[in-house]
Amino acid sequence: QILDAIENDELDLAYNILGSYALSRQAAGSKIGVVFPQDYVLVLARSVLISRRAPSPDLARALVDWLLSPAGQQVASSHAALGSIMEDTPGRWTSEAVLARSQGIVQPVVLSPALLVGLDQRRHSRFVQNWVRLVTDTPTSR
């Protein structure tokens, strides 16, 4: 939705957008600009999980095997704009391409329990209140 708003001139700027989505949109002909920050770039790892109660676990494992295969990595680094984890995989969205586009540090987001902190409703509410106060200079109600 944010990229749609940028493309339709409803927004002038979007920050902290997933680069793969923005670059994919740009490659498809959208007239948007994509700027990589000069200080550092966060890189998200894509994860695949198979539920213990999956109705077709063998089929799910076959999909994961294909995603990790050279053919799957080729699709991930080109058409799907997800990035490849295998070095020397050709495509627009490889780790080498991200490194070449960034001007600073490339920092991966590590999957850990620390990522769950944002799910705590009390912390989330406090964060939103502080954010509104900072960007609007409005005192928070207590």
Each domain of the chain, given as residue ranges in start order, spans: 1-35, 38-111, 112-142
Question: Helices in 10-115 by DSSP H: which ranges?
Answer: 19-27, 57-68, 70-77, 95-101
Report which listed range, 57-66, 81-90, 99-108, 124-133, is most confident. 57-66
pLDDT at residue 80 greater than cutoff 80? no
pLDDT at 140: 58
Q: What percent of the chain has pLDDT over 90?
A: 29
Determine the pLDDT at residue 3. Answer: 93
User: What's the mean pLDDT when you consider all of the chain?
Assistant: 84
Residue 57 has what pLDDT? 96
